Amino acid sequence: MSSVLRAIWDNTYGLLVDDGQLAIGAIVALAIMWLIAATTPSEGHDNAGWLLLGLVVALVLANLYRAGRNARRHAG
């Protein structure tokens, strides 16, 4: 039973986190978006969504660039 519970926990954690840096980066991007949405008036407020999109896309590209560099290093 404990192995099933452990597997469920691992799977649930694995659902959300495959690469720690990507997950932390996404949480930071969300925090920046929330901060801007909460502190800026009307127009800037509504641009917070696009800012989040930009941050996340940049994050994905940077993360995959790092993954590619690491893969190249491993391949020798």
Partner 1 sequence: MDLTTLAIAATPSFIASAVEFVEATTIVLAVGVTRGWRAPLAGAALAVATLGAIVASLGVALVTLVPRHLLLGLVGALLLLFGLRWLRKAVLRFAGIVALHDEDEIYRREVAELRAQGLTRTEWDWVGMVVSYKAVLLEGVEVAFIVIAFGAKGVAAMNAAIVGALAAGVLVIALAAVLRHPLTAVPENWMKFGVGALLSSFGVFWSAEGAGTEWPGDAASIPLILGAFLIASWLAVRMLALIVPRGARLEARNV
Per CB under 8 A, residues contacting partner 1 are 4, 7-8, 11-12, 15-19, 22-23, 26-27, 30, 33-34, 37-38, 45-49, 52-53, 56-57, 59-61, 63-65, 67-72, 74-75
Smallest distance, partner 1 to C-beta of residue 9, A:
10
Radius of gyration of the chain (CA): 17
Closest approach of partner 1 to the CB of residue 71, in Å:
5
Enumerate residues 6+ apart whose C-beta is below 8 A from 33. 48, 49, 51, 52, 55
Structure tokens at 18: 């495959």
